[in-house]
Amino acid sequence: MSTPQLKTIAFDADDTLWRNEDLFHSSQDYFVQMLEKYHSKEYILEHLNSIQIANLSNFGYGIKGFTLSMIETAISLTEGRITGYEIHEIITLAKQMVASPVELLPGVEELLQSLQGRCQLMVITKGDLLDQEGKLARSGLAQYFDLYEVVSNKKESNYQRLFERLQLKPSETLMIGNSLRSDILPVLNVGGHALHIPYHTTWSHEQVTQAELDAYQPIATVRSAEDVLSWLDAHFSM
């Protein structure tokens, strides 16, 4: 039996090519410490999370939106008693996040080296344009990619528009990513291929329920970028 032909492999960036969620977690930890004299950790995180989600439509994904949500949460949870100096610390935290080094995930660079020249390689990442361009530059991976697309969201319609604009046939395109919600299900829904590499932590907003998953064939999954090449060779020709 012949295997389907693959022309393009698109990678999610955050928590697929490099660590990202950890950075938000450690900023969150710092933020919690700052407010722990007012409230419990659980209460602070719950409040921050709901303000973040409410702010997504205003501020989108990324460090700046996250920072504005931290500031808003701090003001709300302290009933305005938070000081200017403390808020300034949050802004300093944001600047550190923007400039923090990019740590690649195991096997990523080797995988890209092996794939380069065999098919078109691209990144499809959600978030803030400046944040994402900065991370690509600092990652040292830019040389491997033919295309780097930053989108404001990763819904079916975003993939559909992007595939049309770039004239990619879904049947010849594979998306690899850590988020079932953003990288896998919408791509399958528009007729593309998808490979899931779970990350050890997923933002609650990105999680999907088992009931949602039941509507799909078992999702193709590997443990890390180190296992992608053998999976590809078993399922596709390039």
What DSSP line would sit under 86-99, residue for residue? HHHHHHHHHHHHHH
C-beta of 196: minimal distance to its own copies in Å? 25
Q: How far apart are CA 18 and CA 16, in angstroms?
A: 6
C-beta of 88: minimal distance to its own copies in Å? 5
Six token digits for residue 109:
């660079």
Contact between 141 and 133 under an 8 Å Cβ cutoff? The reply is no
Question: Which CB, 56 or 213, lies closer to its own copies?
Answer: 56
Amino acid at 17: L
Question: Which CB, 161 or 223, lies closer to its own copies?
Answer: 161
Q: How far apart are CA 6 and CA 187, in angstroms?
A: 15
C-beta of 181: minimal distance to its own copies in Å? 18
The Cβ-side half-sphere exposure at 162, using a 13 Å CA radius, reads 27
Question: Which CB, 94 or 197, lies closer to its own copies?
Answer: 94
Q: What stretch of H or E contains 234?
A: helix 228-235
Question: Which CB, 31 or 199, lies closer to its own copies?
Answer: 31
Question: Which CB, 7 or 64, lies closer to its own copies?
Answer: 64
Q: Residues in the site for its own copies, rule: CB under 8 A?
A: 58-60, 64-65, 67-68, 71-72, 74-76, 78-85, 87-88, 91, 94-95, 98-99, 128-130, 133, 147, 150-152, 165
Question: Which CB, 20 or 228, lies closer to its own copies?
Answer: 20
User: What one-character DSSP code corresponds to residue 226?
Assistant: G
Residues 6+ apart with CB under 8 A from 68: 55, 59
CA distances from residue 153 to 44, 127, 150, 228 in whole angstroms, order as listed: 27, 7, 9, 25
